[in-house]
A and B are shown apart, each in its own frame.
Chain A
């Protein structure tokens, strides 16, 4: 036989438990629009039945249920979807940043248009053609000079603009590194809090959510792998523990530990720049320093390194790679080779000055600053019209000597040759091509790169969204569901209360209605 108040206890527990479920429902509804919130569920457990099995247990017919209690309050979440989400988010971070960098590059190159390098070269070519049919005309000469200046200025503009965007990318890279380190230290702080709560048998659901949110953010910046480190003590089996965050390469191998759960510390990520070129040379995680090539990991940080440019040594050579260094290199090569080939052709010709003085004094048409250049590096930024040509258009060499070695002022064979430079085939940067085609291939390469980046941004965006939908399907709050639950819990609460009324009536019967006979 159970105690008199047995039923009251069951009903009371029922009311408490339903009430806690209602509170959790309220919490869920309140957080329906909180980003990263996982709905919570009260795990109802039956309390230990009476009597418990023991030597002195009373003999009654069967074990009686003693009611319900709230076991744990658990968040509803699927870890596997987090892994998938972060992997897609990581790729999105990489491609989105790359697409942005290329978009800016495309805007600077501005092709095809009526104001790009291509049309400027075309106009220069036209002016040389006009000179070829009109070699003695001072106007035609001036136009050649002005169009030549336009060519040089377009190269200058492209080079300085690309460099300025490259500078912006460096700032973005530094900011991103700071962001990663800030996220890492926030995760570390939450790790600390969690490891203080879990050993007491609690589940800090809201901290879990917060931490997952931070890791989601981090995943777009760097490719991370997360492993759990149990808290110990009286931690529940479903407790998530502290999380170690490692940065991994494309094959999933660890490159270094960013957040160390065991020692509760953060190893800061730092980017090392090479002194002379300013390009990225190393990436360090804590004390561990990696060459930039070893840091083959996706995410925004790698994308920024790829775009901004990196440098490495192989054998005795130093390589400088990356979207912007490559483009600058191409423009430099083109400016250098074009100027060199043009100058070569120009020096063969006779100018009006030569004709008047009867001596052939070859002059350059294009020049690279005061000191000149020995290789193409910096050519696009430095290229200008040579001082001789600035001084007088009479220095433009349009004529060539005839078969007898005589030079006529109206001869324009060299002007034709100069015009030919644009379309003539040379060996440029190891490829046999014309300047026209070389430039087209540069723009084509950039366009294909940008298209790929945009396509993959869209693709990884779609995949990320798809995983996110599945994740939300599991974890997001459905108001309809919460309302249904609310009604359900409310009815259970009311029924429990009614049980108390019923018990009250039984007790009233026992106390006030019984044992009155013979009075």
Chain B
């Protein structure tokens, strides 16, 4: 094949520009830290990148929802615990009141305490978390229990308040408030209070068994929320794992391997130098330089 100076020059230029374009690619990768800069660099990486990003956003969101779930459940649980303590105290007072050695004044004093406990319970039922009544189902804007001169009115919503904690999994984060702060409880307390105030507590055993009933229902609700809390914790662990996995996969998918890129760049640099040296040697001499 006949080779001319012009061909050598064109070849040199083509090799140099190819070498520059390779270096440009590595420069982009180093500057951005990404393997690809546009989808066509690698369509699969690009699509996966979109998918993993969405995945990561979702995981982050579920984490946020989880912390909301924790807040609801922990507050609910502490509400139940408080209610349990109140009921235990009421039970003690009823036992104390029904042992027959109390004067009507003593009973009235006990009645006053029961009244106080009742109001305390009403206040717990009206617990607000971040401005929302957590013991009123989905009617979070209004208090479930109202105390006024006519006594205690209970108007409770028992709908489940659900939070999405992972894809398609909606977990109930509130409790059934009627099981803890239901009107029956307040009625029982009211009748105990009334009986004590009237100076005699004849149906003490009946009251005790009623209190025990309430206590059982409360405990059942408490263990149920405990069980759900465990589930929440399990999901939390899983979500945290998922976050780590999603971040790692996202990084594996699209982050440039810096060590490799720098090595490649160094190799490319030496190729480029060689290419420049070769070009300068080849293009210079021609027959003209050697004639005469």
Contact = CB atoms under 8 A, between A and B. Distances in A.
Interface in A223-271: none
A135 B38 CA distance: 39
Contact of A106 (B40, B138, B286): B40
Give the dominant DSSP class at A's interface. helix
Most buried by B among A33, A126, A408, A436: A408
A318 B137 CA distance: 56
A472 B4 contact: yes
A106 B39 CA distance: 7
A112 B50 contact: yes
Interface in B39-65: 39-43, 46-47, 49-51, 53-54, 57-58, 60-61, 64-65
Interface in A107-146: 107, 109, 111-112, 116, 118-119, 122-123, 125-126, 129-130, 132-137
A469 B6 CA distance: 10
B42 to A, nearest CB: 8
Contact of A102 (B40, B131, B136): B40
Contact of A134 (B10, B14, B68): B68
Interface string B95-126: 00000000000000000000000000000000
Interface string B199-236: 00000000000000000000000000000000000000
Contact of A448 (B38, B43, B49, B287): B43
Interface stretch (A42-50, A196-204, A425-433, A438-446): A438-446
B17 to A, nearest CB: 11
Contacts of B5: 32, 478-480
Contacts of B139: 408-410
B287 to A, nearest CB: 4
Contacts of B130: 134
A479 B4 CA distance: 7
Nearest to A130: B64
Contact of A474 (B2, B65, B286): B2
B164 interface: yes
B25 interface: no
A470 B291 CA distance: 29
A447 B40 contact: yes
A242 B185 CA distance: 110
Contact of A32 (B6, B53, B136): B6
B4 A416 contact: no
B265 interface: no
B138 A476 contact: no
A136 B138 CA distance: 10
Contact of A410 (B132, B254, B287): B132
Interface in B58-77: 58, 60-61, 64-65, 68
Interface string A144-174: 0000000000000000000000000000000
Interface in B142-163: 157, 159, 161-163
B137 A408 contact: yes
B64 A476 contact: no
A412 to B, nearest CB: 8
The interface size bin for chain A is: 35 or more
A477 interface: yes
A507 B79 CA distance: 139
A402 interface: yes
A126 B40 contact: no
B38 to A, nearest CB: 5
Nearest to A474: B2
A477 B157 CA distance: 95
Contact of A132 (B136, B163, B286): B163
A243 B62 CA distance: 72
Interface in B255-274: none
Contacts of A483: 286-288, 291
Interface residues of B, number: 52
Nearest to A422: B54
A118 B50 contact: yes
A39 B140 CA distance: 92
A416 B254 contact: no
A6 to B, nearest CB: 36
Contact of A133 (B51, B65, B167): B65
B39 A450 contact: yes
A430 to B, nearest CB: 20
Given A125-B61, A447-B40, A409 B141 contact: yes
Given A408-B138, A410-B139, A476-B6, A112 B49 contact: yes
Given A413-B162, A480-B287, A472 B7 contact: yes
B53 A119 contact: yes
Nearest to A468: B10
20 contacts: A102-B40, A107-B38, A122-B53, A122-B54, A130-B61, A133-B163, A137-B131, A408-B140, A409-B139, A416-B164, A443-B46, A443-B47, A447-B43, A449-B40, A472-B4, A476-B4, A476-B6, A476-B7, A479-B4, A481-B2
7 closest Cβ pairs, A-B complex: A410-B140, A447-B39, A450-B40, A447-B43, A112-B49, A408-B138, A411-B138
Interface of B: 1-7, 10-11, 14, 38-43, 46-47, 49-51, 53-54, 57-58, 60-61, 64-65, 68, 130-132, 136-141, 157, 159, 161-164, 167, 170, 254, 286-288, 291
Interface of A: 32-33, 102-103, 106-107, 109, 111-112, 116, 118-119, 122-123, 125-126, 129-130, 132-137, 399, 402, 406, 408-413, 416, 419, 423, 436, 439-440, 443-444, 446-451, 453-454, 465, 468-470, 472-474, 476-481, 483-484, 487
Given A112-B46, A443-B50, 16 more contacts: A111-B49, A112-B50, A116-B50, A132-B163, A133-B68, A137-B131, A402-B138, A411-B159, A412-B162, A436-B51, A443-B39, A447-B46, A451-B42, A469-B7, A476-B6, A483-B287
